[in-house]
Amino acid sequence: MITHVRSVALGVPEIGAAREFFENHWKLDLVATDADRVFLGAGCEDDHVLRLRASAEPRVDVLGLAAATDAEVDEIARRVVTHPRGRLVSEPATCTDAGGGYRFRFLDCEGRTVEVSSGTAVRAFRAVEAGEGRPTGISHVVLNTADLPGALAFYRAVFGFEVSDWVEDIMVFLRSGTAHHLLAFTRAPHVSLNHVAFELRGIDEFMRATGEMVRKGFSPLWGPGRHGVGANAFAYFQEPSSRFVAEYTTGMLRINPDHEWTPRVYPGNAQTSDTWGVAAARDEAVSASLRGCPDLGLWQPPPV
């Protein structure tokens, strides 16, 4: 079973600017750097939640998912190998790169590089205290897909994700465990990263973090508000140099695995996207930013 999104690795053309944004403003912790990479952690034991790599063009390098055990890593690898649309990049093996652990990489049905890991090193992290607007980890990732039925079928078959809810037939929310969604797919003209969402400790910390960004001159792309699907609070910001979108979030709906859950299909309207109704309307500029550009990392696993 996938326990959580462990990390996201991005290729960025201006690594200094992206680091400045995510370290100094987004409040991730600097863990390590090497020749062309920066590793940033959060208030959680994962070695890092965000990896930045110097790249000529912005691209998604790796989506990192955490499995509960080594045996589950092996089982997921077996499912990838036997799936007609899965392509193994590396066999499961003990890894010596940042965080270590037992991992493998593959290309999903649309060419994204995905890494599945278990048994990674526990980092001595600084816990987020009450009132502190610093992320506690990654909450979820939303991916734009040019083949929603194919992506949904692939991720269900390989990982056993369950459908939590839909917005019409354009967005599907997937869970593995109690959080309403760890991943979601949205229909788009191309494959790209929609956004990465970082968890805040609670609603007060979420608003403080959002307010600190505003005080520093970063206007939210959209929010703050609360989604009607998944019930999580949202405030989206765009990293200016790479144009990747990051979300502060908190308070997502938890689904008790012992209770029956029937996915619902929500209408694609303002009440669904923003129950509070105080965020500015989700206009075309917001949609365009979340749609992003076609991902240049497809079918090309990063060199590291």
Query: Within 13 A of 63's CA, how many CA atoms are on the CB side?
Result: 27
User: Could you say which residues in the range 251-280 bind Fe ion, by CB under 5 A?
Assistant: none
- Based on CB atoms, which residue is closest to Fe ion, 158 or 290? 290
Nearer to Fe ion, 165 or 247 (CB): 247
Instruction: In angstroms, give the least distance from the CB of 234 to Fe ion.
Output: 6
**Token reading at 231:** 């019930």
Q: Which residue, judged by CB position, is nearest to Fe ion in the bound state? A: 197
Nearer to Fe ion, 102 or 248 (CB): 248
CB of 251 to Fe ion, least distance (A): 12
Q: Are 116 and 104 in contact (CB under 8 A)?
A: yes
Q: Which stretch binds Fe ion (CB under 5 A): 17-25, 81-89, 240-248, 270-278?
A: 240-248
Q: Cβ closer to Fe ion: 133 or 230?
A: 230
Looking from the CA of 176 toward its CB, the CA atoms found within 13 Å total 21
Smallest separation, CB 142 to Fe ion (Å): 5
Q: Would you state the structure tokens that stand for residue 30, as one six-digit string?
A: 């600097």
Give the dihedral sign, CA 195/201/204/208: negative
Stretch in the footprint of Fe ion (CB under 5 A) among 46-54, 66-74, 151-159, 242-250: 242-250
> By C-beta, is 55 or 186 nearer to Fe ion?
186
The tokens for 140 are 């979820």
Q: Is the dihedral of CA 292, 32, 46, 87 positive or negative?
A: positive
In the β-sheet with 137-145, what is the strand arrangement from edge to edge?
222-226, 233-238, 245-250, 192-199, 137-145, 183-187, 171-175, 162-167, 264-266
Contact (Cβ atoms closer than 8 angstroms) between residue 12 and residue 56: no
Least Cβ distance, residue 247 to Fe ion (angstroms): 5
- Smallest distance from Fe ion to CB 218, Å: 18
- In 3D space, the residue among 140, 144, 191 whose CA is nearest the CA of residue 161 turns out to be 140
Strand, helix or coil at 60?
strand
Q: Minimum Å distance from CB 290 to Fe ion? A: 9
- Cα separation, 44 vs 295, in Å, equals 29
Q: Which of residues 129-168 bind Fe ion (CB under 5 A)?
A: none
Query: In the range 22-51, which residues lie near Fe ion by CB under 5 A?
Result: none
Q: Does residue 247 belong to the site contacting Fe ion (CB under 5 A)?
A: yes
Q: Which residue's CB is nearer to Fe ion, number 18 or number 229?
A: 229
| Beta bridge partners of residue 250, listed in sequence order | 233
Structure-block tokens of residue 34: 């090497």
Which one, 110 or 247, has the nearer CB to Fe ion?
A: 247
User: For Fe ion, what does the binding mask look like between residues 185 and 224, x meaning CB under 5 A?
Assistant: ------------x---------------------------
The distance of closest approach from Cβ of residue 105 to Fe ion in the complex, given in angstroms and rounded to an integer, is: 24
Q: Which residues bind Fe ion (CB under 5 A)?
A: 197, 247
